[in-house]
C-alpha cells in the first residue's frame, strides 16, 4: 500500500529533525560538519563530519523509542552508504588522505543519542 503524501512528508520532517539533532550532537563532540544530505545517483548520506584526520559518514536513524536498536542497526543499508561515500570521495579529492569511518546515530525522544562509532566497514 502506498503511503500518502502527508505521511511521506511527516516521515521526511521527522528524519530531518533527527539529522539536525545528530548534527548538533556531533558539533558538541567537536566534530565539524562537512555536508548534510549528500544525494548521489547511488544513494544518500545523511551527514559527513570530520574530526582531526577522520572523515565520518553518518547514517542517522530517528526512532520513536530506543527499543530494538540492534535490529535497526542491522537494517542500515551499508552498501548504499558505502557506494555514495566512494562517489563523494571521487569528487572531493582533498579527503583522500583522511581515515574513513562509518557511524550510525540513533535519535529518540527524551533520551541521549546513541552513537555507534565505526558501525560498519567500507563496502561491508
CATH number for the domain harbouring residue 53? 3.40.1350.10
What are the beta bridge partners of residue 59? 104
Q: Say which residues have a Cβ less than 8 Å from residue 62's Cβ, sequence separation at least 6.
A: 14, 15, 17, 18, 19, 21, 106, 107, 108
pLDDT above 90 (res 105): yes
* Residue 32 structural domain: 5-120
State yes or no: pLDDT of 43 exceeds 60: yes
- Number of folded domains that form the chain: 1
Class of residue 50 by CB neighbours under 10 A (exposed 0-12, middle 13-18, buried 19+):
middle
**Cα angle 88, 94, 100; round to 5:** 60
The residue among 77, 71, 92, 89 whose CA lies nearest residue 123 is 77
pTM recorded for the entire structure = 0.85
Amino acid at each position: 500500500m502506498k503511503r500518502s503524501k502527508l505521511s511521506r512528508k511527516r516521515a521526511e520532517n521527522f528524519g530531518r529533525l533527527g539529522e539536525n539533532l545528530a548534527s548538533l550532537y556531533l558539533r558538541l563532540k567537536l566534530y565539524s560538519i562537512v555536508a548534510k544530505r549528500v544525494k548521489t545517483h547511488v544513494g544518500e548520506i545523511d551527514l559527513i563530519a570530520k574530526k582531526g584526520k577522520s572523515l565520518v559518514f553518518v547514517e542517522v536513524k530517528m526512532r520513536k523509542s530506543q527499543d530494538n536498536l540492534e535490529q535497526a542497526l542491522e537494517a542500515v543499508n551499508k552498501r548504499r552508504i558505502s557506494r555514495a561515500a566512494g562517489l563523494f570521495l571521487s569528487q572531493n579529492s582533498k579527503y583522500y588522505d583522511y581515515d574513513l569511518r562509518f557511524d550510525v546515530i540513533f535519535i529518540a525522544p527524551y533520551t541521549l543519542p546513541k552513537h555507534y562509532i565505526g558501525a560498519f566497514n567500507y563496502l561491508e
